[in-house]
Amino acid sequence: MNETFFIEAENLTKHFGEVRAVDGVSIRVKPGEIYGLVGSDGAGKTTTMRLIVGALKADSGECSVCGYDVKKHIEDARSQLGYLSQRFSLYEDLTVLENIRFFAEVRGLKPDEWLPRSLEILDFVGLANFKDRRAGQLSGGMKQKLGLASALVTRPRVLLLDEPTTGVDPVTRQDFWQLLIRLVSTPLHLPPNSENLGGVSRRDEGGVAVLISTPYMDEASRCNRIGFMKSGRIIAEGTPWQLRDRLTGRVLELRGSPLNVLRRAAHSDPDVEDVQAFGDRLHIRVREKKADDVLSRLKSRIRSAGGTIEDLRVTSPGLEDVFIALSEASNE
Amino acid sequence: MNSRLFSLIRKEFIQIWRDPRTLALILVMPIVQLFLLGYAATTDVKNISLAVWDQSQTPQSRAFLDAFRSANYFRIAYSVGSQAEYRMLIETGKARAALIIPPDYANRLQEGNAQVSMVLDGSDATVGGTALSTARLIGQSYATKVLTEQLALTGRSATITPPVEVRTQVWYNPDLISAYFNIPGVIGMILSFITALLTATAVVRERERGTIEQLIVTPIRSWELIVGKILPYVMLAFVDVLEVLIIGHWWFKVPVRGDLGLILLLSGLFVLSSLGIGLFASTVANTQQEAMLTVMFTMLPSIFLSGFFFPLDAMPKFLQIVSYAVPLRYYLVIIRALLLKGVGVDALQNEIIALTIFAVVIMGAAALRFRKRLD
């Protein structure tokens, strides 16, 4: 049986002048799945999202949302999606409720539907007590929640979130993710007339498909799947586990003192590819199958340089290690 | 009504209502401009300040001065005793003209060859021109009066009449009151200014503040976005038209001789062309400031080339040709004709056709350039 994808992007390409902002990106997201786009600034994450929502026109490639071709049936596709842009893009001179009402109505909610739905969604994101406050007077985190609320008010089946938690405090980030996880795991309450929307039947209905971009690795590790973007391309894709597995057995963790001696010793080993400091410890990435060699060489090297080792062992790689390795690999 | 459109319009009105500066611009600016142009920008020349050097100091010379005094055009502000004195007054702008009556005035009047001289400050051409012609008129009519009196003294009681007399009739505005001419102009100026400027900034504001990105991903159609952005300002423009008409009619007594429905209908046609300019400017500009400058850039020349202040007939051929591309030009003809002459559609056919063409072209160009996208 064919799998259903709510987002299907195939070979998307977008140039800005000479710059290839997006260069042959393909992404598929299933209902109930959170797909994380990760990558440094300028990697093409925002442009990719803008291409999928049709805010920018792709130079080439295909894209559909819930079965609606973004080029041919953009308005139908848009009626299925909620989008939260990186920059706050609601009306600061409107109140929380007025903003939600506006976006609910222009996206087709009837006069008797929008109010209960808005109150429900404000309650869901925890802004119910602020409904009459002007959006411009909300804190950064509250603005993002309002953005999420107005993206969610029509119960879209596809949600695109562009760095929704950038500049938001850790507690609010935590809240935000709890909201997201609740959202994708909750089956949709579809109206009865939506038996067959763009070829997606109700039986396949699992939940919402989410495409989220984030610069934070802890957030990336919460996604079902991750695409790592670099220079407009997705250079690695998989579950967090699959991505981490690429470096299994290749990352050593070293604690000891003094740190600069340890670092110099590690760098001088021919089989060490990279050394990164994580607080009081170093993560040392080594060539494939060289972990044991490096381990024994490093011990003697550090002792002869006058350093002390508290702990040195092979550790399970973090996503951060993987992304650093990927970024460097593609630079070469 | 289309509910998406209705939501857009309501949102726009909430935003206008919450922005006191825009609101003031819309509601107060027309009144300020109306009073400014109704009172201050009058080209009626009255009370020209006059310096008099009466070297004759005779009953005859005083009678001559009385003739000047009794016409409203001059005000005898200074009595001087030397050329240096009136020169100084004119140089400092305290007097606009000087009247010099020679010492032998009374005697030569008797002989029938009296001369008085007048010095005019021509640096303000309007005032100078009016002063010149009225001074001549006053002098002529006084001379006729003196001649009649002299003839009467000699026993031949006949009234002198010049062989040719031009009998003038001024239609529509018999007292040539500037306000009658200016207030219809103010309506045109305000209409084009408010609609073009506000539409342009309202559209660009969405882009500048980033709200366009959220708007783009809603299922709003492009035309709905255009209409939803424009319609609120069309409504406000009509509020302004009525505001200016009411104040103009009741305060400045400007006649409204034409059909009110026709006035509003043709004003609507003109508003469409201004909206087109505003919308077009919004597709060119990226910031509200740029939009504002772009609108100003088109607005100023169009006011000068519209015949608002300066008659088009007197302009060089080239500028006259350029003025055909200025919608305000046609609207001024229309609104002045409707208010003052009370004509019907048939007298304004050419202007209506020209405005329609302009509105269609500019709206079409703006709509083509208007994209519901970021790039």
Contact A89 B214 (CB under 8 A): yes
The answer to whether the pTM exceeds 0.80 is no
Of B210, B218, B219, the CB nearest to A88: B210
**Cα–Cα distances in angstroms (integers) from residue A86 to residues A102, A160, A259, in the given order:** 20, 10, 38
Residue B285 to residues B214, B228, B230, B325, B361: CA-CA distances in angstroms?
19, 19, 17, 22, 20
Q: What are the pLDDT digits (tens) for B53-103?
A: 999 899 888 988 888 888 778 888 899 999 999 999 988 888 888 999 999
Instruction: Out of B8, B11, B374, name the one closest to residue A50 (CB).
Output: B374
Q: What does pLDDT average to over chain A?
A: 87
How far is C-alpha B297 from the chain's CA centre? 19
- pLDDT, tens digit (0-9, with 9 covering 90-100), for A124-145: 888 999 999 999 999 888 998 8
Strands in A148-242 per DSSP E: 158-162, 196-197, 200-201, 209-214, 225-230, 233-238
Instruction: Return d(Cα B264, Cα A56) in angstroms, integer.
Output: 41
C-alpha span between B273 and B362 (Å, rounded): 7
How much is the pLDDT for A201?
Answer: 41
pLDDT of residue A188: 52
ipTM here: 0.79
- Enumerate the residues of chain B whose CB falls inside 8 A of the CB of residue A19: none
The CA-CA-CA angle for residues B324, B328, B334, to 5°, reads 95
Pairwise CB contact (< 8 Å): B221 & A50: no
**A55 → closest Cβ in B3, B11, B213:** B213
A332 pLDDT higher than 60: no
> pLDDT tens digits for A184-199?
876 554 444 444 444 4
Q: Which residue of B has its CA nearest to A154?
A: B218
Region A315-326 average pLDDT: 89
Q: What is the mean pLDDT of residues A293-305?
A: 89
If we measure between CA atoms, which residue out of A135, A163, A166 comes closest to residue A149? Answer: A135
Which parts of chain B are beta strand (E)?
Answer: 48-54, 74-79, 97-101, 117-120
For residue A190, what pLDDT is reported? 44
Which of the residues B2, B14, B214 would you substitute to probe the A interface, choosing the one with the greatest number of A C-beta atoms within 10 Å? Answer: B214
Interatomic CA distance for residues B7 and B20, integer angstroms: 21
Per-residue model confidence (pLDDT) at position A193: 43
Segment (H or E) for A257: strand A251-257
Query: Which of A75, A89, A150 shows the shortest C-beta gap to B210?
Result: A89
- Contact status of A57 with chain B (Cβ, < 8 Å): yes
pLDDT at site B159: 63
Respond yes or no on whether the N-terminal peptide bond of residue A258 is cis (omega within 30° of 0): yes
For residues A33 and A316, give the distance between their C-alpha atoms in angstroms, rounded to a whole number: 25
Kindly report, residue by residue over A275-291, the tens digit of the pLDDT.
998 888 899 999 988 88
Model pLDDT for residues B22-64, shown as the tens digit of each residue: 888 888 988 888 888 778 766 666 788 899 999 989 988 898 8
Residue span(s) of chain B under CATH 3.40.1710.10 come to 48-153
If interface means Cβ-Cβ distance under 8 Å, which residues of chain B face chain A?
A: 3-4, 6-8, 11, 14-15, 18-19, 209-214, 216-221, 373-375
Residue A55 is nearest to which of B8, B216, B220, comparing CB atoms? B216
Contact B7 A88 (CB under 8 A): no
Both tokens assigned to A217? 């690795």
Handedness of CA B207, B209, B215, B216 (dihedral sign): positive
Facing A103 at nearest CB: one of B6, B18, B218: B218
Looking at the domain B48-153, which fold is it?
abc type-2 transporter like fold (3.40.1710)
Q: How far is B46 from chain A (nearest CA, A)?
A: 51
Closest Cβ opposite residue A55 in set B6, B11, B373: B373
Paired strand residues for A36: A212, A226
Q: Looking at residue A22, what is its pLDDT? A: 94
Q: Considering only CB atoms, which chain A residues are within 8 Å of B3?
A: 105, 108, 110-111
Contact between chains at A106 and B18 (C-beta distance less than 8 A): no
Q: Residues of chain B whose pLDDT is less than 50?
A: none
Instruction: State which amino acid sits at residue B7.
Output: S
Query: Per the structure block, which two tokens stand in for A85?
Result: 């842009």
| pLDDT exceeds 80 at position A204 | no
Structure tokens at B74: 């001059």
Residue identified by tokens 């009459």 is: A132
Selected residue with higher pLDDT from B351 and A200: B351
Burial (CB < 10 A; 0-12, 13-18, 19+), residue A33, is buried
**Crossing angle for the helix pair B327-336 and B349-369, to the nearest 10 degrees:** 140
Q: Are A48 and A12 in contact (CB under 8 A)?
A: yes
Position B359 scores a pLDDT of 93
CATH numbers and ranges of domains, chain A: 7-242 (3.40.50.300), 249-315 (3.30.70.100)
What pLDDT shows up at residue A202? 41
**How far is residue B173 from each of residues A62, A305, B133, B254, B308, measured CA to CA in Å?**
69, 105, 20, 9, 16
A156 touches B: beta carbon within 8 Å: no
- Output the pLDDT for position A195: 41
Q: Answer whether A189 touches B (CB < 8 Å).
A: no
| Residue of A7, A46, A63, A89 to mutate for B, most B C-beta atoms under 10 A | A89
Cα→Cα distances A271→A299, A308, B160, B227, B263, Å: 14, 21, 125, 66, 87
Taking contacts as CB-CB distances below 8 angstroms, the residues of chain B near A108 are: 3-4, 219
Identify the pLDDT of residue B44.
Answer: 64
The answer to whether the beta carbons of residues B160 and B144 sit under 8 Å apart is yes
| Strand, helix or coil for residue A82 | strand
**Lowest mean pLDDT, pick from A19-23, A85-89, B125-129, B276-280:** B125-129
Lookup result for tokens 């067959």: A196
Q: Which of A62-66, A172-176, B245-249, B316-320 has the lowest average pLDDT?
A: A172-176
Placement of tokens 């919402």 in the chain: A208
B104 HSE (CA, 13 A, CB side): 6
Q: For residue B53, list its beta bridge partners.
A: B100
- Are B84 and B110 in contact by the 8 Å Cβ rule? The answer is no
Which chain A residue is nearest to residue B224, measuring alpha carbons?
A106
H/E element holding B280? helix B260-284
A105 with B2: CB under 8 angstroms? no
Give CA–CA dist B48/B76, Å, rounded.
8
Given CB atoms, is A81 within the 8 Å cutoff of chain B? yes
Residues of A in contact with B221 (CB under 8 A): 75
Q: What is the pLDDT of residue A224?
A: 93
In B, which residues are within 8 Å of A56 by CB distance? 373-375
Q: Would you call B373 and A57 a contact, using CB atoms and an 8 Å cutoff?
A: yes
Chain B positions in Cβ-Cβ contact with residue A55 (cut-off 8 Å): 213, 216-217, 373-374
pLDDT at A206: 60
Phi, psi dihedral angles at B66 (to 5 degrees) = -60, -35
Task: For chain B, say whether A85 makes contact (Cβ under 8 Å).
Answer: yes
Chain B residue with minimal CA distance to A99? B11
Q: Single out the residue of A31, A35, A65, A34 nearest to residue A206, CA to CA.
A: A31
